[in-house]
Amino acid sequence: MTAVDDRVSAIYESLDVPEGFKAELIRGEIVMMAGPDRVHNWIIESIQDQIPRARWHRGQTQDIAIPGEVSEPQPDLVVYERGAVDGPGRLVPAAALALVVEVVSRTSGDRDHRTKREMYAAGSIPAYLIVDPVQGQCTLLTEPADENVKGLPDYLSARTSRFGAAVPLDVLGITLDTSDFQTFD
């Protein structure tokens, strides 16, 4: 990291985020956004309820560490096997994660579909699920690769399904029921 990166990281770690807001460190920039819509929370709740707690930690608002990135993104949901991370701490290493989930808001589409896609692929996170209540669809990205044809980290496999269709999450050994996912008004 550079001195500027270190200063931004220090500011981020000591940031007092106002109630009702969320902050993330994304590629050296502190991004602050308003709290989520109820539709967003209901989607996360539905996904979380379908992932077996006995085998998986299902964490909300958990910062993750991605090697080589000046970022500490906070996916809407992170899933990692019990025992993969021990002890207290604010950051979960990307290498420990099986799945990250982002629910697109009216303002986060580009960040979720492009920037975070590259970051999560760079961290070799096996599966990235983008749930888009604006479009009424889910996109499951798998097979992270160091470079795509443009030389950027990316996922080699993408599967898009409309809300209501089952989404196989092979990395977790489950099929996600999306029939109760709602769209924004």
Does the predicted TM-score (pTM) go above 0.75? yes
8 A C-beta contact, residue 141 and residue 155? yes
Q: In the chain, how long is the greatest CA-to-CA distance?
A: 48
Question: Helix H segments across the chain?
Answer: 3-14, 38-50, 109-110, 116-122
Which stretches in the chain have pLDDT values below 70? 1-5, 24, 34
- Supply the pLDDT for residue 147: 80
- Supply the pLDDT for residue 1: 52
Domains along the sequence of the chain with CATH: 36-176 (3.90.1570.10)
- Supply the pLDDT for residue 124: 96
Beta strands in the chain (DSSP E): 21-26, 29-34, 56-59, 63-65, 77-81, 91-93, 97-103, 127-132, 137-145, 154-162, 167-169, 174-176
Residue 21 bridge partners (DSSP): 34
Block residue for tokens 């270190």: 6
**Residue 66, CB-side half-sphere exposure with 13 Å CA sphere:** 25
Measured between alpha carbons, how far is 149 from 95 in angstroms, rounded to an integer?
Answer: 24
Provide the b/e sequence for 120-136 (b: ≥16 CB within 10 Å).
bbbbebbbbbbbbbebe
- Supply the pLDDT for residue 33: 73
- Supply the pLDDT for residue 71: 84
pLDDT digit string, tens, across residues 142-154: 999 988 777 889 9
